[in-house]
Amino acid sequence: MSVPRIVFLGTPPFAVTSLEALHAAGIPIAAVVTAPDRPAGRGRQLRPSAVKEAAWRMGLPLMQPVRLRDAGFLEELRSCGADLFVVVAFRMLPELLWRMPPRGTINLHASLLPRYRGAAPINWAVMHGEPRTGLTTFLLKQEIDTGDVLLQEALPIGADETAGELHDRMAILGAALLTRTVLALGEGSLTPRPQHAMTEGLVLPQAPKLTPAICRIDWARPAVKVHDHVRGLAPLPGAWTELLREDGGTEHFKVLRTERTDAVVHGAPGTVHGDERGLLVACGEGALRLSDVQPEGRRRMPGAAFRAGLRGSIRLQ
């Protein structure tokens, strides 16, 4: 069998690493599909996706459909003559699209499926304090993240590692795994494994879309759980809390990095004590030091600098 001719579908920087690896491996890429340019920044000027910029650099044909069911787009896609579609961090595909290529459509997912199906697998694995996670390549089917597994690779999660740091490591590992998958499919050496055979008797953690309510910090939880929550949301979208000042005023800010500490902070959860290294906050069990924060409308700063600008006693809620 020969190396499949592919169409690559992806949008954010995570997908760029895979596109570059596939191209470097000599896999023929008939076209790249990415999201339309979006307004961004204060001027709201149209900005291309990271994948579009990468496709330009590599001189690859590019498509940016507004609607994936558009007849013109589908006809252009068929004309590519691709054997296989490869999806990395793209929107949900309609069935008429993912069934189009003769060898099907494969996806790279940032978890060890069937664990952490959903939109934010990296964040949720860290938020849950998992000691390890991994990546999966699988064949698409209609139900999200449920298709037959092709290849998987595990990796550890550091006790203080943030989702952003893990994301960057997984992008590199995932690109290599995806390249191996495409080449193995060309060789005919892969046997897909149904996920239902891997789920019997298991309660599986999910990875739904992150919302502002999910990102709010609950200081009544044990310090280790709050620490995991913060690093699982850093740097984006960021865990947040509300500061209650002595005068009754409030201020929202993000907590981007915490440090575990043996320091004792007396008072109810959310009680704040300052020291030379930042803010010490009482949790339901134990305490945390807030080493990096971002006040609303301002830049990221050390917790100590933020504390220095506050007056009177404060608590978090």
- Give the model confidence (pLDDT) of 265-277 as tens digits: 888 999 988 766 7
179 and 104 assigned to the same domain: yes
Q: Describe the chain by its helix, strand, coil percentages, rounded to 5.
A: 30, 30, 45
pLDDT of residue 313: 61
161 and 77 assigned to the same domain: yes
pLDDT digits (tens, 9 = 90+) for 16-26: 999 999 999 99
φ/ψ of 79, rounded to 5, equals -70, -15
pLDDT of residue 244: 82
177 and 216 assigned to the same domain: no
237 and 151 assigned to the same domain: no
The reply to whether 203 falls in a domain is: no
In this structure, are residues 309 and 274 in contact, taking their beta carbons and an 8 Å threshold?
no
pLDDT of residue 222: 97
Mean pLDDT (whole number) for 209-220: 97
pLDDT of residue 250: 83
98 and 188 assigned to the same domain: yes
pLDDT of residue 1: 67
Residue 41 pLDDT exceeds 80: no
Q: What is the CATH number of the domain that holds 276?
A: 3.10.25.10
255 and 282 assigned to the same domain: yes
221 and 185 assigned to the same domain: no
pLDDT of residue 246: 72
Q: What is the CATH number of the domain that holds 12?
A: 3.40.50.170
Say what percent of the chain tops pLDDT 90. Answer: 77
pLDDT digits (tens, 9 = 90+) for 134-180: 999 999 998 889 999 999 999 999 999 999 999 999 999 999 999 99
E strands, 99-246, in order: 105-109, 132-139, 149-156, 239-245
Of the residues 198, 233, 254, the one at which a domain ends: 198
38 and 159 assigned to the same domain: yes
Mean pLDDT (whole number) for 29-36: 97
pTM of the model as a whole: 0.93
Q: Which residue range forms the structural domain that includes residue 34?
A: 6-198
The reply to whether 172 falls in a domain is: yes
264 and 121 assigned to the same domain: no
The reply to whether 1 falls in a domain is: no
The reply to whether 206 falls in a domain is: no
Mean pLDDT (whole number) for 197-212: 85
Q: How many domains does the chain have?
A: 2
Sheet holding 149-156, edge to edge: 62-63, 29-33, 6-10, 84-88, 105-109, 132-139, 149-156
pLDDT digits (tens, 9 = 90+) for 97-122: 999 999 999 999 999 999 999 999 99
182 and 64 assigned to the same domain: yes
Q: Which residues of 24-45 are buried (b: 16+ CB within 10 A; e: fewer)?
A: eeebebbbbbbbeeeeeeeeee
68 and 154 assigned to the same domain: yes
Residue 181 pLDDT exceeds 80: yes
Average pLDDT across the chain, whole number: 92
pLDDT digits (tens, 9 = 90+) for 226-256: 999 999 999 999 999 998 877 777 888 999 9
135/247 Cα distance (integer angstroms): 49
pLDDT band of 311, cuts 50, 70, 90: low
Lowest mean pLDDT among 41-55, 154-168, 216-230: 41-55
pLDDT of residue 200: 64
The residue among 260, 304, 314 whose CA lies nearest residue 129 is 260
145 and 251 assigned to the same domain: no
pLDDT band of 203, cuts 50, 70, 90: confident
